[in-house]
Structure 1
């Protein structure tokens, strides 16, 4: 499978230092854990450990079109109002959120898990069917931003993000971000990404090891001895 996640040192003289390799392992784990690798064509995480500074940019894969109410439910007029029958339960929470937001939670009668009633006068059946209930792009963006927040160190309080034309960019540092840092990162993006060789990653990936002796976790010397 082609590499999608690239973690690179902005100091090209030291491409495989400990920090860069560590963040590559973290990034791979986060994207796998959240199950969003398929949502990205590629992502490049450029790091300057000394400043410190992160410049992350990702290109999104094609995302499904928004789903309207008519895609996940049937709508009809009944004596008590507009009757909504949920046909795809996977999107029931999204539909409820939409209806509560548009018409007020107190005005939506939920008969059971699949049947809802909206009083007449709030919306026509035709208008309701055309409403967007689920926007896959919003879901994916939220997951990607969540992933990047897990990768970027917690102390990096200075952050800027931009989402435009299928590309997401996040810049972060614990210090005020200087324009020349951004320029340096953008210049690096003009060159092909650097892939970390597998042998460098293997050195840091932790292999599970059975510990026979019972140890007290907060007694560091005991834990270290158990690993020998």
Structure 2
């Protein structure tokens, strides 16, 4: 799926839809989300005080593990430790926090800027554990940013909101009035249209 393969805005008047599409485009651009969104459709019904959004995220965002940015080995002979040689410092602070929580601060030392040593019994047994630590999950971060996108895009005063994430699929409904189940159902129908486009 290409980024922004489908980008639709429906409103009672075409001029309103075009104007809102530009606003949405600016928000997506400001938040650097264009490469992450495959399909998006927004329906605005001012007469019902209703805003609905459905979108499908592009795939391919896998969690970042220790082995993605570091080499993990046992320490020097006689030292019960696992040594991590960092290739990319971007995730170093997150890794340190996870190691401190998992092994205790006293058992984690950083003898050099790009080296971390974890004191542990049976270091050979712990290498696999350390290699597979998930340091960052871009999918979670992306989901938070998508919710933020929806909140920024919603018209002023639409404070009653509902959103749902299922895998890469997202719906968002907002209104000034009490939420109606039929609005949520309609948002799911919009999402079905988007996902059916993908399959055909």
2:13 to 9, 12, 15: 15
Match in the other structure for 1:125: 127
Q: CA deviation at 1:168?
A: 1.0
Larger Rg: 1
Q: Cα 1:184–1:76, aligned 2, differ >3 Å: closer, same or farther?
A: closer
Match in the other structure for 2:38: 41
SS at structure 1 position matched to 2:35 = helix
Alpha-carbon displacement from aligned partner over 1:124-173 (angstroms, at most 9, x marks no partner): 12111122222232232222222222212453332221111321111122
Match in the other structure for 1:203: none
Alpha-carbon displacement from aligned partner over 1:80-99 (angstroms, at most 9, x marks no partner): 63222211223334433433
How many pairs are equivalent?
187
Match in the other structure for 1:84: 84
Output the CA distance in 1 between the equivalents of 2:64 and 2:160: 35
Q: CA deviation at 1:64?
A: 3.0
Match in the other structure for 1:206: none
Match in the other structure for 2:165: 163
Match in the other structure for 2:178: 176
Output the CA distance in 2 between the equivalents of 1:106 and 1:175: 54
Scaled by the length of structure 1, the TM-score of the pair is: 0.68
The question of whether the paired residues in 1 share the 8 Å contact of 2:54 and 2:188 is answered with no
Gapped regions of structure 1 (runs ≥ 5): 193-228
Match in the other structure for 2:139: 137
Q: Cα 1:138–1:189, aligned 2, differ >3 Å: closer, same or farther?
A: closer
Match in the other structure for 1:28: 25
The question of whether the paired residues in 1 share the 8 Å contact of 2:52 and 2:173 is answered with yes
SS at structure 1 position matched to 2:29 = helix
SS at structure 1 position matched to 2:55 = strand
Q: CA deviation at 1:73?
A: 1.1
Output the CA distance in 2 between the equivalents of 1:43 and 1:186: 13
Output the CA distance in 2 between the equivalents of 1:157 and 1:56: 15
Higher strand share: 2
Match in the other structure for 2:197: none
Asked whether 1:52 is paired with 2:46, we answer no
1:74 to 71, 76, 92: 71
Q: C-alpha root-mean-square deviation of aligned residues, in Å?
A: 2.9
Q: CA deviation at 1:189?
A: 6.2
The question of whether the paired residues in 2 share the 8 Å contact of 1:63 and 1:137 is answered with no
Match in the other structure for 1:99: 99
Q: Cα 1:111–1:57, aligned 2, differ >3 Å: closer, same or farther?
A: farther
The question of whether the paired residues in 2 share the 8 Å contact of 1:82 and 1:117 is answered with yes
Scaled by the length of structure 2, the TM-score of the pair is: 0.76
Gapped regions of structure 2 (runs ≥ 5): 195-200
SS at structure 1 position matched to 2:91 = helix
